[in-house]
């Protein structure tokens, strides 16, 4: 019998269920990680309300703000060891990751597969990395070089990403 874990799903808008599901086995280029710290993204709220394009009726359909510890390593993975601290980074961030395609379930299961090793950060700091990345992307796209002299830029919305941008 395969080992089980708890997973959170949204079977319909405004409904949350915790289910039992099998712990995934990592493929040759994957890492199985135990999730320790989790953030809530604005996208997660939209999924919960049924207003987002992501449908999370099954485990693994959502979640990305996580801090985790590597617990099992696929035989072809290099540069990650059991016990390493990991942050989730999707394939859209390939240019920033040497461990792209180490992907898996979303954050709302106990175990998932995550890349990006940062053993010098706490799990809470690691789970915040995605929001910091979004803020950096906003900053890079804002064309601040066009703001000169008395011109000013404002941040509208002081959620996590807005607060990061004001720093």
Q: What is the CATH number of the domain that holds 118?
A: 3.90.180.10
Among candidates 64, 6, 74, which has minimal Cα distance to 37? 64
| Residue 100, pLDDT score | 33
Taking 90 as the threshold, does the pLDDT of residue 66 lie above it? no
**Is the residue at 150 inside a domain?**
no
Q: Are residues 70 and 80 in contact, defined by beta-carbon separation less than 8 angstroms?
A: yes
pLDDT band of residue 1 (cuts 50, 70, 90) is low
**Is the residue at 147 inside a domain?**
no
**Is the residue at 25 inside a domain?**
yes
**Is the residue at 86 inside a domain?**
yes
**Is the residue at 61 inside a domain?**
yes
Q: Mean pLDDT throughout 38-59?
A: 74
> In the structure encoding, which two tokens stand for residue 7, read together?
């997973």
Q: Is the dihedral of CA 105, 111, 113, 116 positive or negative?
A: positive
| Residue 54, pLDDT score | 67
| Residue 75, pLDDT score | 92
**Mean pLDDT score of the chain:** 74
What domain count does the chain have? 1
**Is the residue at 97 inside a domain?**
yes
What would you measure as the largest C-alpha separation in the chain, in angstroms? Answer: 68
Query: Whole domain around residue 98: which residue ranges?
Result: 4-127
Taking 60 as the threshold, does the pLDDT of residue 95 lie above it? no
| pTM listed for this prediction | 0.66
Range with lowest mean pLDDT among 49-53, 72-76, 96-100, 158-162: 96-100
Q: Which residues contact 35 (CB under 8 A, 6 or more apart)?
A: 66, 67, 68, 107, 109, 110, 111, 112
**Which has more pLDDT, 100 or 77?**
77
């Amino acid at each position: 019998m395969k080992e089980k874990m708890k997973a959170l799903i949204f079977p319909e808008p405004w409904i949350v269920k915790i289910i039992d599901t099998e712990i995934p086995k990592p493929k040759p280029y994957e890492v199985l990680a135990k999730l320790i710290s989790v953030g809530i993204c604005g996208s997660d709220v939209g999924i919960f309300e049924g207003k987002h394009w992501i449908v999370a009726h099954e485990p693994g359909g959502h979640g990305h703000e996580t801090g985790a510890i590597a617990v099992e390593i696929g035989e072809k993975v290099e540069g990650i060891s059991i016990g390493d601290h990991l942050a989730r980074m999707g394939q859209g961030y390939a240019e920033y990751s040497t461990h792209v395609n180490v992907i898996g379930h979303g954050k709302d299961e106990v175990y998932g597969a995550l890349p990006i090793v940062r053993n010098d950060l706490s799990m809470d700091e690691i789970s915040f990395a995605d929001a910091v990345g979004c803020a950096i992307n906003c900053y890079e796209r804002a064309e601040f070089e066009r703001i000169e002299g008395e011109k000013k830029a404002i941040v509208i919305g002081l959620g996590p990403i807005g607060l990061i941008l004001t720093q």
